[in-house]
Amino acid sequence: MPWIVSESRRAFWGHACLALMCGAAVAGCRRGPTLVPAEGRVVLDGQPLATGAIMVQPEAGPAAQARIQPDGSFRLGTFDPEDGAIPGTAAVRIICRQEVTKPGEERAFGRSLIPEKYARFESSGLSVEIKAGMAPLLIELSQ
């Protein structure tokens, strides 16, 4: 008896194949740049910067960022927390502001606790080289 395929079954398999191809194409598009682990410490006049945020902007691609921990340490993340940074030379900016949140209110920040020049890539004067297998970064700030 010959194999008989109905039109509805043929349409089902045609749509199923199309869905699989679209899924594969979308999955391929989700591939981003290669990231490498990147961590370090920020110090101000030799002392750990106890709060704030760091952002590292590569020459091409999205920036990596991290919150600075009380011991001055950080781990950079680009798409997810701590997933790493794009390899290459990158400009750095650091923001560290006094928290002035009052009980029961939204989180608010006041004056900068470090020189304002560090808050902008153009004026910070800071850059790093991100590469696989690198030692932890040391970002040194001064008043």
What's the confidence (pLDDT) of residue 28?
47
Q: Taking the complete model, does pTM exceed 0.85, yes or no?
A: no
What's the confidence (pLDDT) of residue 1?
45
- Could you tell me the end-to-end alpha-carbon distance of the chain, in angstroms, rounded to an integer? 88
DSSP one-letter string for 112-129: ESS-GGGGSHHHH--EEE
Read off the tokens for 58. Answer: 């590569």
Domains and CATH numbers, the chain: 39-141 (2.60.40)
What's the confidence (pLDDT) of residue 12?
58
Point out which residues pair with 66 in neighbouring strands: 54
Q: pLDDT of the chain along its 143 residues, tens only?
A: 455 555 555 555 555 555 556 555 444 454 678 999 999 999 999 999 999 999 999 999 999 999 999 999 999 999 999 999 999 999 999 999 988 888 888 888 889 999 999 999 999 999 999 999 999 999 999 99
